[in-house]
Structure 1
Amino acid sequence: MSHIPPLDPNVAAAKGFREPGDRPKRFWKAAGVAEVEGGHAVQLDGRTPKTPAGRPLVLPTAETARRVAAEWDRQTEVIEPATMPATRLASTALDAVCLAREAVADEIAAYAGTDLICYPAEAPTSLRARQDAEWGRWRNWAAEHGIRLEPGSGIVHRTQSPEALARVKALALELDDFALTGLASLVPMYGSAILALAVLKGALSAEAAHDLSRLDEAFQESQWGIDAEAAERTAAIRAEAMEIDAWFRALGL
Structure 2
Amino acid sequence: MSEWKLKRFWSDVATQPEADGFAVALDGRIVKTPAKATLVLPNETLAAHVADEWRAVEVEIKPEAMPFTRSANAALDKVAVQHEEVAGLIAAYAETDLLCYRADSPVELQKRQAEAWDAPLAWVRDTHGLHLEVATGVMPVSQSEASLQKAQALSMGMSAFALTAFHDLVSLSGSFVLGLMAAQNCDTPENLWNISRIDENWQQELWGVDDEAAEMAALKKAQFEHAYAFYQASVLS
Fold shared, TM-score > 0.5 on shorter chain: yes
Larger helix percent? 2
Q: In the alignment, is the contact (CA less than 8 A) between 1:205 and 1:245 conserved in 2?
A: no
Cα distance in 2, alignment partners of residues 76 and 119 from structure 1: 47
How far is 1:204 from its partner?
Answer: 2.0
Residue 44 (structure 1) aligned to one of 26, 34, 52 = 26
Matching residue's letter, 2:60? V
Cα deviation digits, residues 36-73 of structure 1 (max 9, x gap): 22101011112111001111111001010011111111
Cα distance in 1, alignment partners of residues 188 and 29 from structure 2: 35
**SS across alignment from 1:40:** strand
Structure 1 counterpart of 2:69: 87
Cα distance in 2, alignment partners of residues 173 and 205 from structure 1: 24
Cα distance in 1, alignment partners of residues 32 and 78 from structure 2: 14
Matching residue's letter, 1:195? L
Cα deviation digits, residues 195-243 of structure 1 (max 9, x gap): 0010000012222111111101111111221111111111111111111
Structure 1 counterpart of 2:233: 250
Cα distance in 2, alignment partners of residues 45 and 237 from structure 1: 35
Show the 5 A alignment for 1:1-253.
Answer: 9-10=1-2, 13=3, 23-144=5-126, 145-252=128-235
Cα distance in 1, alignment partners of residues 231 and 84 from structure 2: 20
Structure 2: segments with no counterpart, 5+ residues: none
Cα distance in 1, alignment partners of residues 69 and 166 from structure 2: 16
RMSD: 1.3
Structure 1: 4+ residue segments shifted above 2 A: none
With normalisation by structure 2, the TM-score equals 0.95
Percentage of matched positions with identical amino acids: 40
